[in-house]
């Protein structure tokens, strides 16, 4: 079966265009990072390249260096911001894998000993909590 093509009406494309709000923690020429609205754990952040691809499978390789440079920066920042014991980095490709938004993105989730991840795309977090967590991450990234 032929792979589906990129659809610019996806929710992250709208966030990148500023058509819907997000709690941003980082932005450069190539990459944006913002809070996941249905976090699987405290400080769950999404790192998103501005270049358009559905996922890793159709991404231009030139996208990946800048993307994972920011993934590392954000992983270090969330670990420090929340005093985490570790960081889980996740990335899904196509529906069978669990992908639900079809613009390439990487999940960066602080982890704490003995605390399991909440379900993927589970419960919406309160905007004020997302804003507070974003501010903590920005403080580390800008500090
Ligand atoms: P995927 O399943 O595609 O890897 O993950 C998509 C992620 O985007 C999920 O973790 C989900 O909670 C998150 N998400 C879905 N809609 C929105 C939204 O409108 N804003 C933000 N910030 N995150 C979203």
Reported as a single tens digit per residue, the pLDDT across 60-107 is: 999 999 999 999 999 999 999 999 999 999 999 999 999 999 999 999
Beta strands in 44-134 (DSSP E): 45-49, 86-90, 106-111
Determine the residue of 24, 26, 38, 117 to mutate for testing ligand 1's pocket, defined as the one with the most ligand atoms within 8 A of the Cβ atom. Answer: 38
pLDDT per position as a tens digit, 21-73: 999 999 999 999 999 999 999 999 999 999 999 999 999 999 999 999 999 99
Domain 11-141 sits in CATH at 3.30.428.10
| CB contact set of 17 (below 8 Å; sequence gap of 6+) | none
Helix runs in 10-126, H state only: 11-16, 61-82
Give the C-alpha separation, 53 to 74, whole Å: 21
Q: What is the pTM of this model?
A: 0.97
Residue 1 DSSP one-character state: -
CA of 139 from ligand 1 middle (Å) equals 23
**Tokens in use for 7?**
């659809």
């Amino acid at each position: 079966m032929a792979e589906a093509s990129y659809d610019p009406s996806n929710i992250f494309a709208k966030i990148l265009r500023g058509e819907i709000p997000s709690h941003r923690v980082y932005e450069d020429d190539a990459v944006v990072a913002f809070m996941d609205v249905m976090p699987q754990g405290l400080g769950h952040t999404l790192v998103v390249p501005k270049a358009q691809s559905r996922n890793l499978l159709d991404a231009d390789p030139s996208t990946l260096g800048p993307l994972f440079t920011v993934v590392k920066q954000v992983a270090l920042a969330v670990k420090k911001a929340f005093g985490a014991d570790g960081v889980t980095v996740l990335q899904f490709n196509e529906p069978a894998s669990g992908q639900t938004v079809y613009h390439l993105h990487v999940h960066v989730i602080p982890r704490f000993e003995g605390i399991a991840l909440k379900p993927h795309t589970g419960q919406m977090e309160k905007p004020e909590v997302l804003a507070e967590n974003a501010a903590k991450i920005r403080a580390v990234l800008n500090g």
